Amino acid sequence: MATRITKDEIKEIQDKAEAGDAEAQNKLGDFYYDGIDGVIEKDHATACIWFTKAAEQGQVDGLYSMGWAYLTGEGVERDFAAAAGWLVQAAEKKHPKAMRHLARLHFMGQGVEKDAEKACKLLEEAVELKDFESASLLGKLYMEGIPDQIPKDQKKGFQYLVKAAEAGDPESMHLIATAYEGGHGVEKSEEKAHIWRRMAEQAGFHSPDTIFKIAIAHFQGTDRVPRDVGKAAMLFKKAADMGHPVAAYNLSRFFYYGTGVQQNYIQAYDWAIKAVKLGEMDAGMLVGQCCEFGHGTIPDHQLALQWYLYALNGMEDEKIKTRIYFYMGRCYYKGGHHDGIPSQIQPDYAKAVYWTQRSIDEGQIGEAYNLMGDLYFRGHGVEKSVAKAKEMWKKAADAGVESAQEALHALENYSLKERFMVYVPSIIMFVLFFAVVGYFVWKYKEMASESWFQKIQEIKLNDNDRGEDPPKGDPSAPE
């Protein structure tokens, strides 16, 4: 949309549109769709009114615009079937973008029958009409293939990537470099791979590895790059979207701890799962944490244990290994219970002791000392020993574990003043309680002795002692 158009030119187009000119109607729809600073405010709903007028007259761009509107839900309620209806009409008039988006709908089976073969034919026809985004898409599809839909044909895919690259598509240039590097659909050549990679970078493409390195630089901060955790998170996401496994894992950790982004356990869990699928086994540890605490998924300590074991199989960092040992000990300690939720799965204290002790032996984790102290204090999985519990809690407290410091304080560090503050109020309350109860018992007896019922009984007893008949009438009635 050209923003330098004059008000007189806009007025002229508007007059033509109102007079029924289809081209002008579509153009006016574009004005409202994009907006013109200081002249026309962006308004997708109004844009669709003018697109519809143009489309109803068969104007091809209007047909495509209505298809796009229904595809994205901009200005109208999203409706894939309606989108397909408009895009079909535009495709029949040889609109290449309409062909490309209609192909996507056929691939997904949204609003139309799922038909990969028909989708490929639409893309091929769009390529003939010089739509090189379709060429790039076909190149990727044939290079990878889709099971039961599109057979892998890397030679054919390479040819389409070349067409897109020759039109200036940076990503296709990068994919050609990758093809030469691995010999996918073309003879392997490190020299040509280097040339195409340089061309891709000069055209503005950055590989996932490059983006990942830039993200690390922003996260750590350097002499040339100031520390910016928010930007690091954005770049990690960009690299993760491109299939970088470590970037996906880092992004999951950012969401889990709220680093550079708003804390979101669901996003953390989803990105950790994606990282695992991309081959980053270390991400299994974070998936395990999500399962253990119910962060972003249903709490399940048994499933958490499986993820921790999975992460251990591919873990090379010994420090992280020792933390996983502790996590496993913690899961066995808790069993199937999570925040009071009942479960049939009982704790396994013997295994809790094994994994916690292993964490201590190999990493001296403060939290592991704390848990072992609790196991000794309660006699779970080991012989009960307050002395050993104190020893473990002392080491945990020295490592900064607050709960261990509190446990030690409760056992042996109460001062006389603290003991007085704890026990004397309890004794006072106990004495006051019995004093109040005694007072009410005494008052009850006193009140009972003075009741009119008790007096009547005394009068009856006295009369009987004299041998006289009891007086008639109500003895309590006034004379």
Q: How far is CA 339 from CA 30, 302, 442, in A?
A: 56, 15, 48
**For the residues 431-441, what does the mean pLDDT come to?**
79
Q: For residue 150, list its beta bridge partners.
A: 146
Q: How many CB atoms lie within 10 A of CB 332?
A: 22
Q: How far is CA 309 from CA 73, 264, 304, 313, in A?
A: 45, 25, 9, 6
CA–CA separation, 109 vs 146, rounded Å?
15
Statement: residue 462 has pLDDT above 50: yes
Q: Mean pLDDT across the chain, nearest whole number? A: 87
- Which of 124, 125, 129, 165 minimizes the C-alpha distance to 141? 124
Task: Indicate the domain borders of the chain.
Answer: 7-186, 428-464
Residue keyed to tokens 């549109």: 17
Task: Check the CA dihedral 282-286-292-296 and report its sign.
Answer: negative
- Can you list the pairs that 279-283 forms with residues at least 24 positions away whose Cβ atoms lie under 8 Å? 279/245, 280/245, 280/246, 280/248, 280/249, 281/310, 281/311, 281/313, 281/314, 281/315, 282/249, 282/311, 282/314, 282/315, 282/317, 282/320, 283/245, 283/248, 283/249, 283/252, 283/311
CATH number of 7-186: 1.25.40.10
Over the stretch 127-180, which tens digit does the pLDDT of each residue have?
999 999 999 999 999 998 888 788 899 999 999 999 999 999 998 999 999 999
**For the residues 103-127, what does the mean pLDDT come to?**
94
- Please, are residues 96 and 130 in contact by the beta-carbon 8 Å criterion? yes
**For the residues 109-121, what does the mean pLDDT come to?**
93
Q: How far separated are the first and last CA of the chain, in Å rounded?
A: 112
In three-state secondary structure terms, 129 is coil
Statement: residue 5 has pLDDT above 90: no
Over the stretch 175-209, which tens digit does the pLDDT of each residue have?
999 999 999 999 999 999 999 988 998 998 888 88
Question: How wide is the angle at C-alpha 181 spanned by C-alphas 178 and 185, nearest 5°?
Answer: 75
In three-state secondary structure terms, 341 is strand
CA–CA separation, 247 vs 208, rounded Å?
9
Provide φ and ψ at 97, rounded to 5°: -65, -35
CA–CA separation, 137 vs 163, rounded Å?
11
Amino acid 474: pLDDT: 46
Q: How many CB atoms lie within 10 A of CB 407?
A: 22
Q: Quick one: CA torsion of 306, 312, 313, 315, rounded to 10 degrees?
A: 150
Over the stretch 315-330, which tens digit does the pLDDT of each residue have?
888 899 999 999 999 9
Q: How far is CA 171 from CA 67, 162, 242, 247, 417, in A?
A: 27, 11, 11, 19, 73
Contacts of 240 (CB under 8 A, 6+ apart): 247, 248, 251, 271, 274, 275
Statement: residue 468 has pLDDT above 90: no
Q: How far is CA 409 from CA 283, 394, 403, 414, in A?
A: 38, 10, 10, 6
What is the pTM for the complete model shown? 0.54
CA–CA separation, 136 vs 164, rounded Å?
5
pLDDT > 90: percent of the chain: 65
Contacts of 432 (CB under 8 A, 6+ apart): none
Statement: residue 3 has pLDDT above 80: no
In three-state secondary structure terms, 367 is helix
**For the residues 30-54, what does the mean pLDDT come to?**
91
